[in-house]
Amino acid sequence: MIDSFKHKGLRKQLVEIVREKGIENEDILDAIGKIPRHLFLDSSFLEFAYQDKPFPIGSGQTISQPYTVAFQTALLEIRQGDKVLEIGTGSGYQACVLEELGAKVFSIERQKKLYLKTKKFLAKLGYKAKIFYGDGYKGLPAFAPFDKILITAGAPKLPDTLVSQLKDDGMIVIPIGKRDIQIMTRFIKGSDGNMRKEGHGTFRFVPLLREMAND
Ligand code: SAH
């Protein structure tokens, strides 16, 4: 696992691109500057790793665009020690960004092959995020409640189960919409249990699926 000066230089450029697109949180920019994104892609695609673009990672899935990762992370307003549930582990890149910000990360992936690969890979990189094979619609009742919940796949609506696993004053960030376009939505849970909803622009994610995948 090589992280050369060339990689570091490309990463600096990526940080500036993400900054220019409007991300101001220096901790998030530092995390992007630190995490070796090229190692999350197959090595033959090295030159794509530091472009601000999503990329296929196998099993029909994608690693999100760095700007999108930064945007979702910024909306979550992560504080040191926050317990965060991520639905859709994918490559694990987003989980690492959350961990760099001081979150305790729990992440669920429904594709078994991807789950196995990412769990092993993150441990090898030294990250402590806990990765689970399961259906994100069910959340992780055994570890609830969470301070923040992040869904990194597009869903038609906010799953009720996840709301019940969120602390009062907690936040959920989820892209809501149809298959081809979603609105980045932030929900903030009041102490009365009511969810306040905010829209934050349109994005395009792979769908949050209901069935488990064994391959
Ligand atoms: N956060 C990822 C990108 C996620 S792409 C990263 O940083 O790379 C969306 C992921 O959600 C895919 O890996 C997909 O398999 C997973 N997914 C889709 N439906 C799911 C569900 N119901 N439960 C858990 N994971 C799901």
Task: Check pocket membership of 55 for ligand 1, CB cut-off 6 A.
Answer: no
Determine, yes or no, domain membership for 213: no
Q: Report which of 71, 124, 62 is spatially closest to residue 97, judged by C-alpha positions.
A: 71
pLDDT at residue 47, as a whole number = 77
The answer to whether the bond into 156 is cis (omega within 30° of 0) is no
Query: Which residue among 206, 210, 215 is best mutated to probe the pocket of ligand 1, counting the most ligand atoms within 8 A of its Cβ?
Result: 206
66-76 vs 26-34: helix crossing angle, rounded to 10: 140
pLDDT at residue 193, as a whole number = 87
pLDDT at residue 214, as a whole number = 77
In angstroms, rounded to a whole number, what is the distance separating the alpha carbons of residues 170 and 117?
30
Task: Check pocket membership of 88 for ligand 1, CB cut-off 6 A.
Answer: yes
Determine, yes or no, domain membership for 38: yes
Ligand 1 atom with minimal separation from the 63 CA: 8
The catalytic residue among 44, 64, 107, 191 is: 64
Residues present in the chain in total: 215
34 Cα: distance to centroid of ligand 1 (angstroms): 23
pLDDT at residue 45, as a whole number = 76
pTM, two decimals, is: 0.97
Determine, yes or no, domain membership for 181: yes
Ligand 1 atom with minimal separation from the 209 CA: 19
Determine, yes or no, domain membership for 215: no
Determine, yes or no, domain membership for 63: yes
Task: Check pocket membership of 107 for ligand 1, CB cut-off 6 A.
Answer: no
Domain of 133, in residue numbers: 5-203
Q: In the annotation, is 59 catalytic?
A: no
Ligand 1 atom with minimal separation from the 59 CA: 15
Task: Check pocket membership of 87 for ligand 1, CB cut-off 6 A.
Answer: yes
- Contact present, 168 and 149 (Cβ < 8 Å): no
Q: What is the pLDDT along the chain (215 residues), one digit of tens a residue?
A: 889 999 999 999 999 999 999 999 999 999 999 999 999 997 777 778 999 999 988 888 889 999 999 999 999 999 999 999 999 999 999 999 999 999 999 999 999 999 999 999 999 999 999 999 999 999 999 999 999 999 999 999 999 999 999 999 999 999 999 999 999 999 999 999 899 999 999 999 999 998 777 77
CATH code for position 124 = 3.40.50.150
Determine, yes or no, domain membership for 211: no
Determine, yes or no, domain membership for 144: yes
In angstroms, rounded to a whole number, what is the distance separating the alpha carbons of residues 33 and 1?
17
The number of distinct structural domains making up the chain is 1
110 Cα: distance to centroid of ligand 1 (angstroms): 7
pLDDT at residue 61, as a whole number = 86
pLDDT at residue 1, as a whole number = 81
